[in-house]
Structure 1
Amino acid sequence: MTEPYTPPKVWTWEVPSGGTFASINRPIAGPTHDKTLPVGEQPLQLYSLATPNGVKVTVMLEELLALGKPAEYDAWLIEISKGDQFGSGFVEVNPNSKIPAMMDHSVTPPQRIFESGSILLYLAEKFGALIPTDLAGRTECLSWLFWQMGSAPYLGGGFGHFYAYAPEKMEYPINRFAMETKRQLDVLDRHLADKDWMAGGEYSIADIAIYAWYGNLVLGRAYNAAEFLDVASYKNVLAWAQKIDARPAVIRGRKVNRNWGQPWEQLPERHSAADLDALPKAP
């Protein structure tokens, strides 16, 4: 840092802090405007965007459908850069105003579910899939799921913010969060040295959750930071991520609630499997 900073005795919010998401960051909760959420015909209503946390859920739903589970869903686009997450309807589903959020209308009264890890666990238990049934396997799976939920803020909110989104590059925070990101990648690389999947013998919600963040990082899709972090050196993580990336349900799930990229990569709203089937083919 070029100038020392002395924190005030009491912090007050005076001006936006700058950076890519400055216009939507604020120190208070609650809605900023009235907006009713749309509701489609499917039992599950997803309100999301294809960020890593959003991709977790769309991949999960597509995996469940691939298994023959009755997990049909409507996926509605929430454009966080425009503040959709602060609409009154969305805040009713998720008082924390973060995507993804879901309503299950197959139960009475309809059940809201927020936080991506909670949604994955809810769907796994509801449909009896993608989570081990034995106590030891389930515990291992949930340990890794909660590890991801606790670790990703260092990757996204820490490293990603200061490396890619902050208004200026600052050596100390970039070094601090790069070190922690590489430590986390090393945790994964060591764990996957003798395992096919995070929970051991079967693909699970732990793999889905961790792939959405760390898989995409080592595959070169996050923050333009693959070379900086030397992600190719984490060979076990890379092989695991490539294996997940090739799954048909993952390929489909990554396209849902996406409104950027090539035409064959994006489906801002999804209301049936036919919507994905109708996308143009990649050349």
Structure 2
Amino acid sequence: MLKIGFLLPPAFQIMGLAASSAFELANTTARERLYDIGFFSALGGPVVNSFGVSVETLPLARRRLDTLIVCGLVAPSPTDTQTLERLRSASRIARRTASVCTGTFLLGEAGLIDGRHVTTHWLFARALQQQFPAAKVDADRIFINDGPIWTSAGMSTGIDLALGLIEADYGAELSASVAKRLVVYHRRAGGQSQHSVLLDLGAKSDRIQHVLEYARNNLESGLSVPELAGVAHLSPRQFSRAFMTETGQSPAKAVEQLRLEAARLMIEQSRHTIEEIAAKTGFIDTERMRRAFLRVFGQPPQTLRRIARMS
């Protein structure tokens, strides 16, 4: 039986505990006690969360846990010394240490994410990178597994992370069954975007918004800068400058993101072959698409399709 411990810092956000339901249902689905779940704090006793509800906890000191999951706060703030000391000690003993949402900041304060690929809620990703420059922050991932460190994005993605942990422990079939009982999409792949590309780009003018809509509807086209500049009725130089000013990205980078988003959705929701999807979304060939998927999502197209079909 694997022992899962949730570390609850003062004023933790209660949604972080939703992940515990995944482990509970893994026990129910398997009809055996695969996981033992406990709530911990630095010294034990009641811990009041951000909503004012008190949760009874056990002291974390000298606890042998298989997996320690650190709950996040509504917004990151400095953590008390005792909690950080207990976190460091427990992580040295645990097989895995994970965080939900802004819990990644606690891992950072404890010195656990230097050199690691990590994520957190997109709203605080830049602050995380600035505060912990030795970490490799990916602001657009649902969750990331880098060795013994697992991190997730917003509070609800703690469920995706828990399903990922269950899959790593007992296989994809059990993870898919738990997801079905939770009435959630079978664990969103770790690389899935936290929000849509068009929302992320946030074009302010109708001119650039129209270009983005054109690009999304014409992915099979080359979508070169001159072509997109023609849609915007600007010279290529003027267009590139305006596009970068409004979106913070080059046209080529934005087009790749649109292609990746469309390709991922087709892979997960259609019966088109990988070759057909590469052609329909404007990639030169399947190898080019595979490399883009690995770079951005951390998984090849075939893996995302397999996960989707299991759901």
- After TM superposition, the score normalised by the length of structure 1 is 0.29
Larger radius of gyration: 2
Higher strand share: 2
TM-score (normalised: structure 2): 0.27
